[in-house]
Each structure stands twice: as structure tokens, then as C-alpha cells.
């Protein structure tokens, strides 16, 4: 009690000392100033940087040659181009430079956050999450990192994860409350599962080998399964039909279950002595290494157990490489869903979209949340939330995002040379979208003329079929 009141008495003095201390008295700064190699700059607060002789941004000589954002009128919402210099929150006559250090790497990747287009307005929540920002769980035989509702709160229907398995390693036997969908990002693997009527399934999977499109798979809710990498290892994008994927009661591991059931019960269940289960793992490994390599790619049938119930009626694997492209003016798309071509996938519809350099997935919206995953390339997208609000995002490979149901959006490939490849995912039995161009082309023309003040000659040029991707 006495000690507490002494501390209370000293606190104002302590605070005063801290507030008046010069940055030059700071031990970290002193050490830094003693160094000769000033090329090595520790991350210091602005005051410390000044004290240490590091030039701060506002002391930087002003380059008179060009406006830093490179936007010459009219400003029609184009991306601010900082022409190789540090991005600043400046656009035309608005904004002002940073006085304290910003995270320049993140600013450079997100110019539309730093200097948003003038068409952005209101408060739209963050709709982007980079897998690179996710915590990675390193395990013997691989790793996993997730984007769940705590990372990307607007995504309530879908969560995602990247899973890596070393050659021959397994994702252990498990099942989920929710459906699981997978896209093979790299390598080769094998899945095995049993449905509620005892019908079984085993199949090989391959990633984008030799330039072909990869395989996808789907496990209905509850269906127990395992995934094993073959000799080249395996990396998968996993999608789950619930944003709150880490909630208790969502994932169930076989070894975890047995480790938390009285052993005499386990023994009676399997009709063996209790000693048989003396050496099962006490904690679930999640990923584990294999002691014997599995048969090679293409030899899955060698591992199949004869099943008196037979095979599942609808395959769990879909080979995108065997699907025809839906060709568009600016690229192509391949759609997979339970109504069209992948009957088992009743809770997840998907589209693999290829956008040529400078081309664009057209202005559209959906009847379900769209979960986005950038496979490669760079994209720019604006989410229109209604009520005069909109926000623009910049995406790179490995980024995830969400366009909530009904939000109008587009995705433009920002590269003049590289294609943009991404996945659209929906918790829905069928892929569905609405095209802005098709809508306007098929409305009574006077309605459009009066609203947008454009001529019928212009409207006549709007295609009446969906473009999907415009050049
Ligand atoms: C820095 O340079 C001076 C002069 O060259 C030298 O005497 C001193 O030892 C150097 N200090 C360190 C820490 O390298
Ligand atoms: C940005 O500006 C520089 C210098 O004017 C130009 O060379 C470059 O092409 C511009 N980049 C984009 C993406 O417009
Ligand atoms: C990929 O191409 C190489 C070289 O043509 C070939 O040896 C290999 O079998 C191919 N892999 C697959 C999975 O088709
Ligand atoms: C259990 O152990 C006993 C004694 O060792 C043996 O007689 C019995 O056959 C075993 N039962 C099973 C199911 O293995
Ligand atoms: C792909 O297109 C070709 C040529 O039009 C056709 O013969 C083939 O049946 C199509 N394949 C699928 C899987 O639809
Ligand atoms: C339509 O645009 C023209 C200019 O192209 C303008 O003169 C006219 O006032 C506009 N009409 C309406 C109703 O805004």
C-alpha cells in the first residue's frame, strides 16, 4: 500500500523528466551517432532521426521539376504516379507531405490508399488482406497461414488459408463443420475421403505444371479427409465457407479426438486392447511427415481400399486444365460450380480469371460476397458501396480481398506487360454476376439517355452480351 502511494507521488515527476529529456540523451541515439557507417539507419522516431543527423522528409530539398503525383488535369481518378519518389498523401492541390516516417513499402504497394482517386468517398471498411501479413504456423513438414474474420472482418461467409506440405508430408485426418475447397498453387498431391454412406474417394492433384491450369477439389461439410503431398511437395489455397474459421467447433482432427477420449472407450470402440493405443500422439500434429513415400503421381489406385459401398457418386476433384476457356475481349475466364460442371461443389462457386495487360474485368456485381485471391500480377479495384461511398484498392500476388454482396466493382490489370490472374469465390451453388454494360444496352434507350446524358449512338455501341473482361 505504502509502495503504491510512493509511486503515485513520483509519477508526475517521472513524466516531467521523460517529457523534457532531449533525444540527444537517448542511449540508442548516442550509440548511433558514434557509428561511422551512417548507411545503416535504425528505425528511429522523427525527433531521434533529426538528433542523429538523419535528414527528415520535410527537410528534403523540394524537386521543382514535376508535381510529385504526376497528375496533370483533368483529374479523372487515375492512379497517382510518384515517379519513383516516396509516395506522399498529396494529390493535385490537396493533401500535404508526411512529417513523420510512414511505412513506405506499404505506401508504395497501395498508392490508392495514400493518394486516393477523387472518385473515392465516404467510409468503406478495409476489404484487402495480404497473406504476407498473416501469422505463419511452422510445423514439421510444412506451414499454414490464414485469412479469417479477424484479419478481414467484412468477409463473413468465406475464410482462406495457404497450406504448404513438404514432399510426402500429410495434412492429418480431419473434418470440418464447413465445406472446404482447394486450388493447387504448386506441386502435386493426393486426397482421400469417405462420405456419410461409406462411399470412398481417392484422387491425385496437380498444380500449374508445364503451364496448364491446376486442379481444384471440394469436400462437403463433415466429410473426413486427408491430403498428402507427393514427391514434389504441395502448396494449396484453401477456402472455407465461414469467415470465422478458427471458431471452436469448426475443425476436428482424428488424433486430437482419440487423445481426448478415455482410452478404454477408444479400445472398446475399435474392438482391441487398451495397450494398442498406448503410443498415439498426445497432441495433434496438424501436419506430419510420412515414413514411407506414397506411390507416384497417377498411381493413386494402388492405395485405394476396396470399398463394399463403392465410390462417391460425384468426384471431389475438378481438372480446370480440361475445361474450355470462356474467351473475352480482354482475356478469358473458367467458371466452376455445382449447377454447371462440378456437381459436388454445392456450397462453393468459383471462377479463374485471366486478364491481359491493361485489360479489365468489367463493372459488375454479384448476389453473394466475392472472395478474391490474386494468383499473379497486379490489379486495381474500386468497391462501390452505394450511398455515395467508394474506396479503391491495389492488389498484388498473394493478396486476398472481399467485395461484399451487391457492391459494384471492377478489377483492372495495372501492368502493361504481365497478365493478371485471380480467383473469384462465392459461397453459392452457382456463379452469377450482373454486367453494367449489358444492363444499359438492354434498357429502353430513353431511360439511359435521360439519366446519363449520352446519345443513342453511344448506347448502340454497348454490347448486349456480357463482355466479362474488356480489352
Ligand atoms: C570512426 O572513424 C574514426 C576516424 O576514422 C576512427 O578513429 C574510429 O575508430 C571509428 N569508429 C568506429 C566505431 O569505427
Ligand atoms: C510515371 O511517371 C513516369 C515519369 O513521368 C513515367 O515514366 C511512367 O511511365 C509513369 N508510370 C505510369 C504507371 O504511368
Ligand atoms: C512437364 O514437361 C516435361 C518436359 O516436357 C515432362 O518431362 C513432364 O513429364 C511434364 N510434366 C507433367 C506433369 O506433365
Ligand atoms: C487382449 O489381451 C488379452 C490378454 O493379453 C488377450 O487374451 C486378448 O485376446 C486381447 N484381446 C484383443 C481384442 O486383442
Ligand atoms: C471444348 O471445345 C471443343 C471444341 O469446341 C469441344 O469439342 C469440346 O467438347 C469442349 N470440351 C468441353 C469439356 O466442353
Ligand atoms: C448534357 O450535356 C451537354 C453537353 O454535352 C450539356 O450542354 C447539357 O446541358 C447536358 N444536359 C443535361 C440535362 O445535363
Active site residue 424: yes
**Matching fold, domains 129-319 and 324-470:** yes
Residues 245/148, Cβ–Cβ less than 8 Å: yes
Could you give the count of Cα atoms lying within 13 Å of 306 in the half-sphere of its Cβ?
1
Q: What is the pLDDT of residues 431-454, one digit of tens each?
A: 999 999 999 999 999 999 999 999
Ligand 1 centroid–CA 36 distance in Å is 6
Q: What is the mean pLDDT of residues 150-174?
A: 97
pLDDT at position 16 is 45
For ligand 3, is residue 211 a contact (CB within 6 Å)?
Answer: no
How many other β-carbons are positioned within 10 Å of the β-carbon of residue 449?
15
Q: Beta strand 326-328 with 170-176: parallel, antiparallel or unpaired?
A: unpaired
**Burial category of 297 from C-beta neighbours within 10 Å (exposed 0-12, middle 13-18, buried 19 and up):** middle
* Annotated binding residues for Mn(2+): 174, 176, 180, 225, 364, 366, 370, 409
| Predicted confidence (pLDDT) at residue 27 exceeds the cutoff of 80 | no
Q: How far apart are CA 417 and CA 414, in angstroms?
A: 9
Q: For all residues of the chain together, what is the average pLDDT?
A: 91
Neighbouring-strand partners of residue 411: 361
Domain regions of the chain by residue span: 129-319, 324-470
Q: Beta strand 128-130 with 136-139: parallel, antiparallel or unpaired?
A: unpaired
| Predicted confidence (pLDDT) at residue 19 exceeds the cutoff of 90 | no
Neighbouring-strand partners of residue 183: 216, 237
Q: How far apart are CA 16 and CA 404, in angstroms?
A: 49
Q: What is the pLDDT of residues 375-431, one digit of tens each?
A: 999 999 999 999 999 999 999 999 999 999 999 999 999 999 999 999 999 999 999
pLDDT at position 72 is 82
Q: Which ligand has its closest atom nearest to the C-alpha of 271?
A: 4
Q: How confident is the model at residue 54 (pLDDT cuts 50, 70, 90)?
A: low
Under DSSP, is residue 4 helix (H, G, I), strand (E, B) or coil? Answer: helix
Q: How confident is the model at residue 102 (pLDDT cuts 50, 70, 90)?
A: very high
pLDDT at position 60 is 45
Buried b (16+ CB within 10 A) or exposed e, 384-408: bbeeeebbbbbbbbbbbbbbbbebb
Q: How far apart are CA 301 and CA 341, in angstroms?
A: 24
For ligand 4, is residue 21 a contact (CB within 6 Å)?
Answer: no
**Burial category of 153 from C-beta neighbours within 10 Å (exposed 0-12, middle 13-18, buried 19 and up):** middle
Q: How far apart are CA 170 and CA 293, in angstroms?
A: 11
Task: Name the E strands within 263-359.
Answer: 287-288, 317-319, 326-328, 331-336, 349-355
Which segment of 31-35, 70-74, 199-203 scores lowest on mean pLDDT? 31-35
For ligand 1, pick from 30, 31, 34, 36 the residue to mutate: most ligand atoms within 8 Å of CB: 36
pLDDT at position 3 is 52
Question: 129-319, superfamily in CATH?
Answer: Jelly Rolls (2.60.120.10)
Q: How far apart are CA 38 and CA 108, in angstroms?
A: 24
Nearest of 190, 212, 193, 164 to residue 352 by alpha carbon:
212
Q: How confident is the model at residue 367 (pLDDT cuts 50, 70, 90)?
A: very high
Q: What is the mean pLDDT of residues 315-321?
A: 98
Q: What is the mean pLDDT of residues 88-106?
A: 94
Name the H helices within 176-272.
Answer: 254-259, 263-270
Nearest of 126, 169, 163, 33 to residue 402 by alpha carbon:
126
For ligand 3, is residue 436 a contact (CB within 6 Å)?
Answer: no
| Predicted confidence (pLDDT) at residue 17 exceeds the cutoff of 50 | no
Q: How confident is the model at residue 1 (pLDDT cuts 50, 70, 90)?
A: very low
| Predicted confidence (pLDDT) at residue 460 exceeds the cutoff of 60 | yes
* Spatial CB neighbours of 297, under 8 Å, sequence gap ≥ 6: 188, 204, 206, 230, 231
For ligand 4, is residue 273 a contact (CB within 6 Å)?
Answer: yes
Query: Positive or negative CA dihedral for 254, 256, 261, 267?
Result: positive
320 or 19, which is more confident? 320
Q: How far apart are CA 190 and CA 298, in angstroms?
A: 9
pLDDT at position 40 is 46
Q: DSSP character for 295? A: P
Nearest of 88, 92, 148, 147 to residue 113 by alpha carbon:
88
Ligand 5 centroid–CA 324 distance in Å is 6
Residues 320/458, Cβ–Cβ less than 8 Å: no
C-alpha dist (Å) from residue 146 to 114, 223, 392, 400: 26, 21, 24, 10
CATH, domain range 324-470: 2.60.120.10
| Predicted confidence (pLDDT) at residue 337 exceeds the cutoff of 90 | yes
Ligand 3 centroid–CA 187 distance in Å is 12
Amino acid at each position: 500500500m505504502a509502495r503504491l502511494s510512493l509511486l503515485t507521488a513520483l509519477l508526475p515527476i517521472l513524466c516531467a523528466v521523460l517529457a523534457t529529456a532531449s533525444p540527444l540523451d537517448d542511449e540508442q541515439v548516442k550509440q548511433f551517432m558514434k557509428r561511422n557507417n551512417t548507411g545503416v539507419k535504425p528505425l528511429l522516431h522523427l525527433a531521434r532521426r533529426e538528433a542523429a543527423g538523419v535528414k527528415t522528409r520535410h527537410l528534403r530539398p523540394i524537386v521543382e521539376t514535376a508535381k510529385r503525383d504526376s497528375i496533370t488535369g483533368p483529374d479523372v481518378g487515375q492512379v497517382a504516379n510518384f515517379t519513383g519518389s516516396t509516395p506522399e498523401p498529396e494529390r493535385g492541390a490537396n493533401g500535404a507531405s508526411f512529417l513523420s516516417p510512414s511505412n513506405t513499402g506499404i505506401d508504395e504497394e497501395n498508392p490508392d490508399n495514400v493518394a486516393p482517386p477523387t472518385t473515392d468517398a465516404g467510409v468503406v471498411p478495409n476489404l484487402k488482406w495480404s497473406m504476407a501479413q498473416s501469422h505463419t504456423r511452422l510445423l514439421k513438414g510444412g506451414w499454414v497461414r490464414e485469412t479469417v474474420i479477424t484479419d478481414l472482418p467484412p468477409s463473413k461467409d468465406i475464410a482462406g488459408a495457404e497450406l504448404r506440405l513438404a514432399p510426402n508430408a500429410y495434412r492429418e485426418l480431419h473434418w470440418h463443420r464447413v465445406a472446404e475447397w482447394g486450388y493447387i498453387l504448386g506441386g502435386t498431391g493426393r486426397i482421400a475421403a469417405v462420405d456419410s454412406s461409406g462411399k470412398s474417394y481417392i484422387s491425385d492433384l496437380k498444380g500449374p505444371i508445364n503451364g496448364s491450369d491446376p486442379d481444384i477439389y471440394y469436400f462437403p461439410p463433415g466429410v473426413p479427409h486427408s491430403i498428402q503431398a507427393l514427391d514434389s511437395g504441395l502448396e494449396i489455397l484453401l477456402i472455407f465457407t465461414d469467415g470465422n474459421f478458427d471458431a471452436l467447433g469448426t475443425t476436428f482432427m482424428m488424433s486430437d479426438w482419440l487423445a481426448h477420449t478415455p482410452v478404454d472407450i477408444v479400445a472398446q470402440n475399435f474392438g482391441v486392447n487398451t495397450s494398442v493405443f498406448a503410443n498415439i500422439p498426445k497432441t495433434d500434429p496438424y501436419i506430419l511427415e510420412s515414413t514411407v513415400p506414397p506411390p507416384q503421381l497417377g498411381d493413386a489406385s494402388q492405395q485405394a481400399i476396396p470399398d463394399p459401398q463403392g465410390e462417391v457418386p460425384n468426384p471431389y476433384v475438378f481438372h480446370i486444365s480440361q475445361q474450355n476457356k470462356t474467351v473475352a475481349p480482354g482475356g478469358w475466364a473458367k467458371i466452376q460450380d455445382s449447377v454447371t460442371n462440378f456437381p459436388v461443389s454445392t456450397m462453393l462457386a468459383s471462377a479463374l480469371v485471366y486478364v491481359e495487360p491493361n485489360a479489365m474485368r468489367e463493372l459488375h456485381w454479384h448476389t453473394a460476397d466475392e472472395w478474391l485471391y490474386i494468383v499473379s500480377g497486379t490489379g486495381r479495384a474500386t468497391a462501390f458501396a452505394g450511398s455515395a461511398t467508394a474506396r479503391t484498392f491495389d492488389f498484388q500476388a498473394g493478396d486476398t480481398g472481399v467485395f461484399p454482396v451487391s457492391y459494384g466493382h471492377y478489377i483492372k490489370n495495372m501492368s502493361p506487360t504481365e497478365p493478371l490472374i485471380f480467383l473469384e469465390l462465392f459461397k453459392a451453388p452457382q456463379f452469377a454476376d450482373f454486367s453494367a454494360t449489358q444492363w444499359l444496352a438492354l434498357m429502353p434507350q430513353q431511360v439511359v439517355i435521360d439519366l446519363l446524358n449520352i446519345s443513342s449512338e453511344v448506347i448502340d455501341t454497348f454490347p448486349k452480351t456480357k463482355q466479362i473482361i474488356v480489352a
